[in-house]
Amino acid sequence: LLDNCYKIFFVSNWVKDKFFENLPFENKNNCEIIHPWTLPLNKFPKKEYIITFSGKLNYSKGYDLFADVIPKILNKHKLWRAVVLGSEPREKISLNHPRVKKCGWVSFDEASDYYKRSSIVCVPSRWEEPFGRTAMEGAANGCATIISNRGGLKETFDVQKKLILEKLDAN
């Protein structure tokens, strides 16, 4: 592949490092990193007391952690509510609370609308995210973004503007 392609593009340094793992060299001149991007905000959106989780609702994405902790947060902070975007028919992680809205899979425009209104986006992935589009879109829409320290997630945006969970548990 390296010898037969004019250019190879990677979405993160992490993905590039994984590609070169176990090879006798760490780079080649025809390899570049182009991080995905989104348009910057022209105007900061009006934020609501919403915490959003978006993605497959499974253990790998950390949905079980979100489902464990969000009822406790909502019970303590009565003005807040949560929105869950996504589904996962193979796993059955229970999350029932009167102020949690489960939307299932939604269009890109609908998801963007939730990010614009949300104050917080949670991306507590256990698996090595190649990049982390949800984190990028949340941050690009002015959300406080909580991420795990997995894969390319920490490359999604400026490190000083996010909360990185070093230990993945409900605490």
**Residues in CB range of 8: below 8 A, 6 or more apart:** 1, 2, 19, 28, 30, 31, 32
pLDDT of residue 105: 94
Beta 81-85 vs 162-165: how paired, if at all?
A: unpaired
Query: What is the model's pTM?
Result: 0.82
Neighbouring-strand partners of residue 33: 10
Higher pLDDT residue, 1 or 72? 72
Contact 81, 101 (CB under 8 A): yes
pLDDT at position 158 is 66
Q: Are 106 and 129 in contact (CB under 8 A)?
A: no
* pLDDT at 55 > cutoff 80: yes
72-99 per-residue burial string, b: 16 or more CB within 10 A, e: under 16: eebeeeeebbbbbbbeeeeeeeebeeeb
The pLDDT of residue 159 is above 80: no
Predicted local distance difference test score (pLDDT) of residue 37: 72
Quote the percentage of the chain above a pLDDT of 70.
96
Mean pLDDT, to the nearest integer, of 86-113?
93
Q: Does position 160 have pLDDT exceeding 60, yes or no?
A: no
